[in-house]
Amino acid sequence: MEKTKRAPLGQNTVKSKLFYALLLFIPTLQFIVFYIVVHVNSFTLAFKVFPDGTARAWEWDKAFSNFTVWFNADKVRFLSAISVSLRAYLISLIVGVPLGLFFSYYLFKRMPGAKFFRVILFMPSIISAAVLGVIYKMVTDNVVRDLLDQWFGLSVNFWGDVRYRFGTIMFFSVFVSFGTSVLMYTNKMTSIPPEMLESAQLDGASGIKEFWYIVLPQTYSIFTVFMIQSIAGCFSNQYSVMMLLDGGYSEPTDATPMGYMLWHGVEKQAGNVALMTPYAALGVMITVVIVPVTFLARYLLNRFGWKEE
């Protein structure tokens, strides 16, 4: 029997091409303007100065003052922000990532309350960081502080005292970080062949051994994705600092990460681009560092990590 000839979608007809081009015109234009032009412009902005302080007239910054300012007048802010970002990243890595994996293992093993805990762990991801941040700040200021005073006679100023401020911010940051990662890890764990787990159990493997030798290697691809994502976001993550620290009126060096410093630096200029050029330069410097680091991390994780079988 003769086979009916089928026409694949977009089979070089003029109408198909026109349809294709018309629908893609606006998204392509949007991408060109708001990605390519924006980033090229961001790069050039880093080398411009606006002598009269407004965006009307500019000239090339022959002294690279937008860059050098971060090593002179703003050196303390710059170095502190790097330090805070790196410490915050390490805490997320050392505390947040293992906890996320352990929580996922608990849910995967369908231990008591697993379904309930899954929903609860996801909740902070859907409630606004503004809402949870304000509540957390008020609770630490009004409840925890009072109770510590009443019960233990301790006077702890979580937000005013340099000794506690960063730790209090990081507790919140880790606390709200489990939603998506736990879901992804748990979904991945469910794809582990049951016979693999059963044979480990028959061999008498403990929970920790099972976790280390079977579950962790089998979820390594997701782990890698999150690791690379966290490295890439190391200097852009704001850790909800804006909500937690007086709505941006203060920018204490002990607790201001790079992501927040960049964002707030632009926001407080109220639209005056002439005053934002040092932040464009800072963005360029960070991008130049973080891109190769991200690729190196990706290479190392793939080269030396577990191989899923």
Partner 1 sequence: MKRKHDKFSPLTVIMLIVLVLYCLTLFGMLLWAVMQIFKDSYEFPYNRIWFPKLKDFTLVNFSGMIEYADMEWLVTMKGSRSVPITEIIFNSIVYSVGGAFIHVLVTCIVAYLASKYKYWYSRILYGTVIIVMIIPVVGSQASEIEILTKLGLYNTRYSFVVLKAGFVGIYFLVFYEMFRSIPNAYSEAAMIDGANDWYVMVRIYMPLIRNVFMTVFLITFITFWNDYQMPLLYMPDYPTLSYFLFKLQTSSKAIELADGRFVDLSYPTVKMAATVVLMTPILIIFITLHDKLMGNLTIGGVKG
Q: Which of residues 188-227 bind partner 1 (CB under 8 A)?
A: 188, 206-208, 211, 222, 225
Q: Are 205 and 213 in contact (CB under 8 A)?
A: yes
Tell me which of 73, 90, 138, 162 binds partner 1, using CB under 8 A.
138
Return the range that interacts with partner 1 (CB under 8 A); candidates 75-83, 153-161, 176-184, 300-308. 176-184
Tally of CB atoms within 10 A around 43:
14
Q: Which of 48, 67, 68 is nearest to 58 (CA)?
A: 48
Using rule CB under 8 A, residue 47 touches partner 1: no
87-119 residues labelled b (16+ CB within 10 A) or e (exposed) = ebbebbeeebbebbbebbbbbbeeeeeeeebbe
**What's the burial of 40, exposed, middle or buried (CB within 10 Å: 0-12/13-18/19+)?**
exposed
Specify the amino acid at residue 47. Answer: F
What part of residues 239-258 is at the interface with partner 1 (CB under 8 A)?
Answer: 242-243, 246-249
175 binds partner 1 (CB under 8 A): yes
**Least distance CB 157 / partner 1 (angstroms):** 16
- How many residues sit close enough to partner 1 to count as binding (CB under 8 A)? 104
Window contacting partner 1 (CB under 8 A); options: 33-41, 68-76, 153-161, 301-309: 33-41
Are 193 and 309 in contact, with CB atoms under 8 Å apart? no
Closest CB 197 distance from partner 1, rounded Å: 9
The answer to the question of residue 32 lying near partner 1 (CB under 8 A) is no
To partner 1, the closest distance from the beta carbon of 160 in angstroms equals: 15
User: Which residue number, 125 or 253, has a Cβ lying nearer to partner 1?
Assistant: 125
Residue from 60, 64, 71, 102 that binds partner 1 (CB under 8 A)?
Answer: 102
Instruction: Let me know: does 50 contact 274? Beta carbons within 8 Å.
Output: yes
| Interatomic CA distance for residues 193 and 200, integer angstroms | 12
